[in-house]
Structure 1
Amino acid sequence: MAHSMDKARQAPGLGAAATRALTVAALDPVPIFREGLNVLVSRTPGLQWIGHAATHHASLQLCEQLRPNIVIVDSGFDPHCHLVRLLCEGDPALVIVVLVRETHRTAQFLSTAAAAGAHAMVPRAADPRRLAEAIRRAHAERRYTDPSLAALTARPKRQPAGSSGALTSAHRPQMPLSRREYQVLQLVAEGLENSAIAKTLFLSVETVRTHVKSILRKLSARDRTHAVTKAFRAGILIPRPEDGGAPARDAVPAPNTQV
Structure 2
Amino acid sequence: MTAPIRVLVCDDQALIRTGFATIIDAQPDLEVVGECGDGRTAVDLTGELTPDVVVMDVRMPVLDGIEATRLLAGAGVAQPAKVLVVTTFNLDEYVYEALRAGASGFLLKDAPPAQLLHGIRTVAAGAALLAPEVTRQLVGRYAERIRPAGDTPQVPLTARELEVLRLIADGLSNSEIAEALVISHETVKTYVSRILTKLDLRDRVQAVVYAFRHGLVA
TM-score range, shorter chain: 0.5 to 0.7
Determine what percentage of the aligned residue pairs are the same residue. Answer: 18
TM-score (norm 2): 0.59
Distance, in Å, in 1 between the alignment partners of 2:47 and 2:81 is: 11
Which residue number corresponds to residue 55 of structure 2? 72
| 3-state secondary structure, aligned to 2:125 | helix
Which residue number corresponds to residue 82 of structure 2? 95
Q: Which runs of 5+ in 1 are unaligned?
A: 1-15, 170-259
Distance, in Å, in 1 between the alignment partners of 2:81 and 2:67 is: 15
Q: CA RMSD in A?
A: 3.0
Distance, in Å, in 2 between the alignment partners of 1:80 and 1:54 is: 10
Paired residue for 1:134, among 119, 127, 141? 119
Distance, in Å, in 1 between the alignment partners of 2:124 and 2:48 is: 20
* AA partner of residue 92 (structure 1): Q
Which residue number corresponds to residue 164 of structure 2? none
- Does the aligned pair in 2 maintain the 1:80–1:112 contact within 8 Å? no
Note the C-alpha offset of 1:27.
1.0
| 3-state secondary structure, aligned to 2:51 | coil
Which residue number corresponds to residue 113 of structure 1? 98
Which residue number corresponds to residue 47 of structure 1? 30
| 3-state secondary structure, aligned to 1:81 | helix
| 3-state secondary structure, aligned to 1:76 | coil
Which residue number corresponds to residue 195 of structure 2? none
| 3-state secondary structure, aligned to 1:112 | helix
Q: Which runs of 5+ in 2 are unaligned?
A: 154-208
Ranges of 4+ aligned residues in structure 1 off by more than 3 Å? 89-93, 153-157, 162-165
Q: Does 1:161 align with 2:148?
A: no
Distance, in Å, in 2 between the alignment partners of 1:46 and 1:29 is: 25
Paired residue for 2:8, among 20, 25, 31? 25
Distance, in Å, in 2 between the alignment partners of 1:80 and 1:36 is: 19
TM-score (norm 1): 0.50
Distance, in Å, in 2 between the alignment partners of 1:21 and 1:69 is: 9
Distance, in Å, in 2 between the alignment partners of 1:37 and 1:91 is: 29
Distance, in Å, in 2 between the alignment partners of 1:82 and 1:58 is: 12
* AA partner of residue 101 (structure 2): A
1:104-133 deviation per Cα after TM superposition (whole angstroms, max 9, x unaligned): 312632221111000000011111111111
Distance, in Å, in 2 between the alignment partners of 1:37 and 1:85 is: 23
- Does the aligned pair in 2 maintain the 1:74–1:124 contact within 8 Å? no
Which residue number corresponds to residue 71 of structure 2? 86
| 3-state secondary structure, aligned to 2:8 | strand
Determine which structure has more spread, i.e. the larger CA radius of gyration. Answer: 1
- Does the aligned pair in 1 maintain the 2:5–2:29 contact within 8 Å? yes
- Does the aligned pair in 2 maintain the 1:115–1:168 contact within 8 Å? no
* AA partner of residue 74 (structure 1): D
1:169-207 deviation per Cα after TM superposition (whole angstroms, max 9, x unaligned): 9xxxxxxxxxxxxxxxxxxxxxxxxxxxxxxxxxxxxxx
1:9-39 deviation per Cα after TM superposition (whole angstroms, max 9, x unaligned): xxxxxxx54xx21100111111111111111
